[in-house]
Copies of this chain bind each other. A is one copy, B any other.
Amino acid sequence: MSDRLASEIAAIAREIDARFDLLLTPPEDSRRPLYEAMRHAAIGGGKRLRPLLVSASSRLFAVDPECALRVGLAIEAVHVYSLVHDDLPAMDDDDMRRGKPTVHKAYDEATAILVGDGLQALAFEIIGSEATHPDPFVRCELVTALAAAAGPAGMVGGQAMDMAAPSLVQDLGIVTRLQQLKTGALIAFSVEAAAILGRVPAEGRARLRGYAHDLGLAFQIADDLLDVEGDAVATGKAVGKDEAAGKATFVSLLGVERARAQAKLLSEQAIGHLSGFGAEADLLRDIAAYTVRRDR
């Protein structure tokens, strides 16, 4: 990883942790375990890829870094809630996440359900509030776009497809569509949000959309490769789970070598979409290059 990228990641992680810390101060009543479990889930750990993407994309349009950070925080709240629910016994049944016990292991299932529900509500409270952007048109567009990316036409829809996946034909088109919803929609919104914050009209967002599309797929293929090649210490969660579950992944469909080549191609394509931008897009280029590195 470049020093520049490493220092950007560290700075975003510090900011996100500090803001969650402030928002999730436990109250002096019996909601305390709920807040503590929300803190367990939201603070410390994770690459904070989505806030980093909002921040990096926002530099293309001279967006106030504070606005970008608040949008990144809201997206991260949605991402974290989806991990907490995804880890539940009825879903992927995972014991470890980001190197810590999952929320239902550290607390209990009911708490984990409520932690996810509460974090989703918090995300919309953050993104809709005046501190996120002075223009209410911008805030409303952020709210509806985040809701669409998170809901049944986006992330939740992709998770539902994933639940149905073992019974599906092992088909690259279906796996691609599933991943475009499950992880792609929120990654795409992270980049699109910068254009919304910068009041870039819809027709001016094509290159950025192309970048997000290719980056999202590259990221997912790299994730599938890590599930096969990585170890639990480095990834902070159990590995080899997709294969054990008989799930079709990019690696099971393409094999390791072709999957790696495809991820590299997509990463280069993502960077290609940025050719019209100058040094202000360097951080986005670094992110795309890093996404497919084996050691990430």
What DSSP secondary structure best describes chain A's contact surface? helix
Residues 95-130 of A at the B interface (beta carbon under 8 Å): 108-111, 113-114, 116-118, 120-122, 124-125, 128-130
Whether the pair A90, B118 counts as a contact (CB closer than 8 A) is no
For A, the interface residue count at a CB cutoff of 8 angstroms equals 56
A98 to chain B, nearest CB (A): 20
Residues 122-173 of A at the B interface (beta carbon under 8 Å): 122, 124-125, 128-130, 136-137, 139-140, 143-144, 146-148, 150-152, 154, 156-157, 159-161, 163-165, 168
Whether the pair A30, B164 counts as a contact (CB closer than 8 A) is yes
Whether the pair B34, A152 counts as a contact (CB closer than 8 A) is yes
Residues 258-291 of A at the B interface (beta carbon under 8 Å): none
Whether the pair B163, A147 counts as a contact (CB closer than 8 A) is no
Which residues in B have their C-beta under 8 angstroms from that of A111? 160, 163
Given contacts A29-B161, A110-B90, A157-B34, contact A125 B147 (CB under 8 A): yes
Can you tell how many copies of this chain the complex includes? 2
Residues of A within 8 A of B (CB): 27, 29-31, 33-35, 38, 81-82, 85, 88, 90-91, 108-111, 113-114, 116-118, 120-122, 124-125, 128-130, 136-137, 139-140, 143-144, 146-148, 150-152, 154, 156-157, 159-161, 163-165, 168, 174, 177-178
Can you identify 22 A-B contacts, CB atoms within 8 angstroms?
A30-B164, A30-B168, A31-B152, A34-B157, A90-B108, A111-B163, A114-B160, A117-B117, A118-B152, A120-B121, A121-B148, A121-B156, A122-B147, A124-B143, A124-B144, A124-B146, A128-B128, A128-B140, A128-B147, A136-B137, A139-B143, A140-B143
